[in-house]
Every structure is written in structure tokens, then in C-alpha cells.
A = this chain, B = another copy of it.
Amino acid sequence: MLDFQKLSADYQQALLGQVVPFWLKHSLDAPYGGYFDLLSGKGEVIEGDKFVHLQAQQIWAFAWLYNTLDAQPAWLDHARHGATFLSQFAHDDRLNCYAILDRRGRPVAPASDVIPDSFTVMAYAQLHQATAEDEWAMLAKQLFANLLNRHEVDREQQAQAVGDFRKLRYLNEPLAMLRAALGMQPLLDEEFYKATIERILHELLREFLDRRTDTLREFILPEGSFINTPEGRRLNVGLTFQTASALLDLCAESGNRKLAMQVVAWCLRLCEQAWDEATGGLNQYVDMKNQPFIFPDWQQKWAWVQLEAIAALMKGYFQTRHPDCPTWFKRIHDNTFATFVDTRHLGWHLALDQNNHPLLPAKAIPAVGCYSLIRCLAETAQALTRCGQLQPLGRHIRVGASPLS
């Protein structure tokens, strides 16, 4: 039986009692500005660089909590602290983002894709919504225009470059752009917003989606051709759920129920393919053609992957009422709350090995920060509350009749 209100309270408790306090307490770099992006399991600073997309994700997460959950001044202060640093150091004179800065903000590496720019746009837009300060809106608009332009030029060049080296396109780019566009909606002219969303949807649903198998691929050749290598055959579980989640947000806004049904079908199939019967939890990758894996990290269980799945399943359930959503939700939920919660320190374990022990003595690394954790816990709490409200009083969804449980 799913008790939506009780479950929603569990997600709120994980968010506000465990995850948010970890970041508020440990990540702030008071002397130099911005956040420490590398933190140990206990929250100690691991010396290293600052990653523009992680800084931006943390700004976004705290401004978004302030805007959508509770207007706590500490959350806004935390977000503003990061945004002040980013606006000073993260972009060059023409408002194109760097990828990596050192602790003091000096550029270490240029951006090779639109990821840092996309998250920076989201951060500034969210902070503008929280403060109504023009500065953030202006920065967001200019950065967004730049990144759309750069992405389009890249696509054209790739499509025209015949006989050149192979160019792979990566799912995380249109995904980050979709999130950025959704965040920019209040700041954009309606027609331009719609055209931008259309362009990104075309890329996702006509190029990255293999329409024969209805499968969202991680890497494609320009214009969507398949490449029969381990990368080309790879489905990235976390990234697919993240994309599903963003598309479901779009469906909720536009009322596109057909797309919501399609996205939920991806999610359910991916659960079947990626679930690890031996240890519980979702693996990182699936090979479209079931060839043996060559990626040494394929069976690692990452908290962000489980949470992206949970959030997508619960949003998908709210929109489609597909009966397999709560079944898979419960299965992943039970495993996740049994294994990833750190019972001794604030924060969640980042990843687990085959014994369900923490893979790393760290809770924040260049590959993963607070973004999925905070967003998915909050989104799931909200979706669960809504599901509870829809339900006739006194009835719970039964989980257990399905062969899965």
C-alpha cells in the first residue's frame, strides 16, 4: 500500500533534515566566494577547483527551494553568495562561460559544450525570480542567447563536416538546454520560447530518440545516426530519467498527455532493463544490443540515478496514472532509503559498491553535486502530496498484485 502523505513527509524529512543542512553547513567558501565543490563524507573540504556547472546548480537549487518550497532567507543568502561569485568570475567579456575555475575564481579550463552556460542561465533566472533584481535577468538573457547561438552553429558545422573526424553528440546538451529554456520562460517572448522548445524537442525526439525501438540514446552522430560502438549503444540510466523528468514538466505545463504516456513507457522499460536483482538498485548503463559492458562503473549504484528515477516515476504517475509507476517507485524507494541514507552524518551517500557500502569517502565530487538530490527529493515530495490529494479519501494504491513486488 502506498501512503502518499506519509511518503511525502519522508521525502521532506530527507530533504530538510539531511540533505539541505549538509550543503548549507559545509559548502560555503566564505573567504573566496562560491562553494567548495569537493566535500568528504563528513563534510570536510577536499582541496581542488570550482566547477561552473556545479556552482550554478547549487545556486539554482537554493533559489528554487526559496521560490517554490519556503521563502527562508538563509536559502536565498546561500544562493546569492554563489551567484555573486559566478557573475564575477564564471564568464568572459562576451558572456560565454568557462568550465572550471580555481578556488579564487581564475579560469582553469574553457567550456567544451553548453553545460556550464545552461546551468548558469537557470541559476540567474531562478535568482531573478527570487529577488526581482534586473541584473540577474539581463545576465540570464544574454547567456541564453549566446548558448543557443553557439549550439546552432556547432550543429550546422557538424552536419556539414564530411570526411572529418567522427563527431558524437551527447544527450546532456539538449537536456540542459531544455531545463534552461523551461527556467527562462518568464523572461522570454512567448513566440520565441515556443520556437526554442520546439527546436530542442526536435533534437530530443527526432534525433536522440531511436524511433524504431522508442529508446533515448546517450550518444548519436550528427542528425541522429546510430554508431555501433559501446558509446553509441549505451543508454545512460540517470540521464534518461533526468530527461524524462524535464519532459514531464513540459507535458504538465502544455497538457501533452500523449508525450507523457510515451515518456512513462521509457521509464518503465528502463527500470526493467537497469534493475540489479542481486544487490537492488538501478545500474548506470544499459547496452541497447545487450553486448557485454566495457564500462568499469556500469554496476555502481549512484544516489542521483535512483532519485531521478523516483522523481520521474512519481511525476509520471501523477500525469498518467499508469499502474506500474507506483510498483517501481516502491521498489526503488525502499532500496534507496535503506541504503543511501547516512545514519551517522548529514547528507546522503553518493554511490554504493556491490556490497551496498559507500564507494567513496566523499559526498561531493566533480561529477555529482547537490542538484539531483535536492531537486528530486523536493519534486517527489510535491508529486506524492498531489497524488494523495487526487486519491479518494481512505483509499491507498495497492502495490503487491504485480509480479514485480
Residues in A lying within 8 Å of B, measured CB to CB: 38, 40-41, 44, 46-49, 102, 107-110, 165-166, 228-230, 233, 289, 291-300, 351, 353-355, 357, 359-362, 365-367
Contact = CB atoms under 8 A, between A and B. Distances in A.
9 contacts: A41-B292, A47-B229, A48-B228, A48-B294, A102-B166, A109-B165, A296-B300, A353-B353, A353-B354
A165 to B, nearest CB: 6
Contacts of A362: 292-294
Contact of A46 (B48, B230, B296, B300): B230
Nearest to A232: B48
A273 B368 CA distance: 27
A47 B226 CA distance: 13
Contacts of A49: 229
A139 to B, nearest CB: 23
A208 to B, nearest CB: 20
A contact patch SS: loop
B297 A48 contact: no
A166 B99 CA distance: 12
A181 to B, nearest CB: 29
Given A165-B107, A354-B353, A294 B230 contact: no
Among A233, A299, A353, A357: residue with most chain B CB under 10 A: A353
A299 B165 CA distance: 35
Nearest to A48: B229
A124 B45 CA distance: 49
A366 B165 CA distance: 18
A109 B40 CA distance: 37
A354 B355 contact: yes
Contacts of A41: 292
Contact of A360 (B294, B355, B360, B367): B294
B46 A294 contact: yes
A107 B44 CA distance: 46
A362 B289 CA distance: 15
A46 to B, nearest CB: 5
A166 B110 CA distance: 10
Contacts of A166: 102, 108-109
Contacts of A108: 165-166
The 6 A-B residue pairs with the shortest CB-CB distance, nearest first, are A292-B361, A294-B365, A40-B292, A48-B229, A108-B166, A294-B362
A361 B357 CA distance: 22
Given A49-B229, A228-B47, A354-B353, A296 B297 contact: yes
A228 B108 CA distance: 13
Contacts of A298: 360
Nearest to A350: B296
Contact of A48 (B230, B354, B357, B366): B230
Contacts of A107: 165
A75 B367 CA distance: 43
Nearest to A39: B292
A268 B44 CA distance: 31
A38 to B, nearest CB: 6
Contacts of A351: 296
A295 B299 CA distance: 15
A218 to B, nearest CB: 15
Contacts of A355: 354-355
Among A107, A296, A300: residue with most chain B CB under 10 A: A296
A46 B102 CA distance: 40
A253 to B, nearest CB: 36
Contacts of A294: 38, 46, 48, 360, 362, 365-366
Nearest to A166: B108
A38 B361 contact: no
